Structure 1
């Protein structure tokens, strides 16, 4: 299990590094930009943002909010699958721990038996330990493309103020909101996963990610911080709305079994 999580984390980091390095972040994106990444990911999102801004009388702030919500709605089925996978893994944790105690010996034969019993447990409950990781990997290209579209669209750089900040310039309030929203979103995710909540590394990430988002936001255009704020608030609402029916269903199922 630990190896699988490590491999997934490395794949995720590699995907981020690969996609981030596919193009110059300071190179403007236009219809003439070449390359698969530019043509099929970054430019289409940039085009959509510009067209929504034109619908809102040149208001790129509203355009970024609307496009961010649309992207999150498109990714909603994947996020639901991820939450269900997390809930499923949490439900079988007691049985999984019993197996680990039963086969605690480190000899090869015992460890093979543990792996077999663990896989049987997963199959019995219809749980895939990697199912919660694949949605994240699938989402990454879209989310990174959104980041590139915001950073590389000249029209956003030339846009005016939105609310109290200028989209093309750093702000000192919006990154704090983005960091707080990131913390709340991660806190809610960990609240539904006791194993993650007890993991020291996950606890560290609970605080490190919001701090990183906040610090980075102080130096980047506010348009990007706005994207983070809207995206994380959407994720908070999504987690609350999806998890409650799941818990009610589990409680009902538990009650029927009794």
Structure 2
């Protein structure tokens, strides 16, 4: 489990590095060089600008529209990730039985444990890596959205609702933290594997409180345009989680994994 987290953090760091985070202080224009800028960041910045012009330079409304549009595009990946996580939860009782049966640490027993584990995965069509892949596919999109908002200079010159898009706000960070907490709470409420794994439950509870606090604190120091993007994305994820989990929970009540 620890190796899995180390690998996850390493891959996240690699994606962030390759996504051009060193250019965050450079305005994005049509003349910006590099594949990252020309294929990902500038097109999103251009779309935000054009939509804002349609709505009388309402860059705040444009950020909301583009954020929702991007979330809709990657929704199939989110659904795949949630279904994969749910499938892993459903086979946990079977995997636990196999681990208890082959608890010895000798090479032959461990080989049998791996074989039985793979057999269970194949029988129930579960891929342990399927839940991680969508995360890495989505990450460049989210980072590009972040860049396009921060590096589009026109955004900082306009206001939306009660706040200036180019300056920090004091209400949006609270909303960001609140909806982040709600989203994670909804995800935890459907994670049945936590009930049988106290260590995992403790880690998830720590993340439940630490992640909203971290994002909320960061939002206090970033421009309100970025906080608006976070709030919109979090609200979308809350609604999406509710819509996806409801039919999945109904299917679970009608029958789970059979031994």
TM-score normalised by the chain length of structure 1: 0.93
In structure 1, C-alpha distance between the alignment counterparts of 2:237 and 2:244, rounded to whole Å: 10
Pairing 1:139-154 to 2, within 5 Å after superposition: 139-154=138-153
In structure 2, C-alpha distance between the alignment counterparts of 1:127 and 1:20, rounded to whole Å: 34
Deviations 1:15-70 (A, max 9, x none): 1243253x421100000000010000100000000011011110001000000000
Pairing 1:244-255 to 2, within 5 Å after superposition: 244-253=246-255
Q: Is the 8 A contact 1:85 1:128 kept in 2?
A: yes
TM-score normalised by the chain length of structure 2: 0.92
Q: Secondary structure at the match of 1:27?
A: coil
In structure 2, C-alpha distance between the alignment counterparts of 1:253 and 1:201, rounded to whole Å: 29
Q: Once the 2 structures are TM-superposed, how far is the Cα of residue 226 of structure 1 from its aligned partner? A: 0.5
Q: Is the 8 A contact 1:20 1:144 kept in 2?
A: no
In structure 2, C-alpha distance between the alignment counterparts of 1:196 and 1:63, rounded to whole Å: 39
Q: Once the 2 structures are TM-superposed, how far is the Cα of residue 178 of structure 1 from its aligned partner? A: 0.3
**Structure 1 residues 9 and 120: alpha-carbon distance in aligned structure 2, compared to 1, 3 A threshold:** farther
Q: Once the 2 structures are TM-superposed, how far is the Cα of residue 99 of structure 1 from its aligned partner? A: 1.1
Across the aligned residues of Structure 1 and Structure 2, the Cα RMSD in angstroms comes to 1.6
Pairing 1:163-242 to 2, within 5 Å after superposition: 163-196=161-194, 198=198, 199=200, 200-242=202-244
Deviates more, 1:88-97 or 1:143-152: 88-97
Deviations 1:192-217 (A, max 9, x none): 22335741333222211111101111
How many residues align? The count is 253
Instruction: Verify: 1:137 aligned to 2:136, yes or no.
Output: yes
Partner residue in 2 for 1:27: 26
Deviates more, 1:6-15 or 1:112-121: 6-15
Partner residue in 1 for 2:15: 15
In structure 2, C-alpha distance between the alignment counterparts of 1:50 and 1:196, rounded to whole Å: 44
Partner residue in 2 for 1:56: 55
Partner residue in 2 for 1:65: 64
Unaligned 5+ segments in structure 1 are none
In structure 2, C-alpha distance between the alignment counterparts of 1:111 and 1:20, rounded to whole Å: 43
Deviates more, 1:202-211 or 1:145-154: 202-211
Q: Is the 8 A contact 2:156 2:164 kept in 1?
A: no
Pairing 1:98-137 to 2, within 5 Å after superposition: 98-137=97-136
Q: Is the 8 A contact 1:19 1:144 kept in 2?
A: yes
**Structure 1 residues 170 and 246: alpha-carbon distance in aligned structure 2, compared to 1, 3 A threshold:** same
**Structure 1 residues 17 and 179: alpha-carbon distance in aligned structure 2, compared to 1, 3 A threshold:** farther
Q: Secondary structure at the match of 2:25?
A: coil
In structure 1, C-alpha distance between the alignment counterparts of 2:255 and 2:206, rounded to whole Å: 35
Deviations 1:107-142 (A, max 9, x none): 222222111111111101001111111000000000
In structure 2, C-alpha distance between the alignment counterparts of 1:6 and 1:244, rounded to whole Å: 32
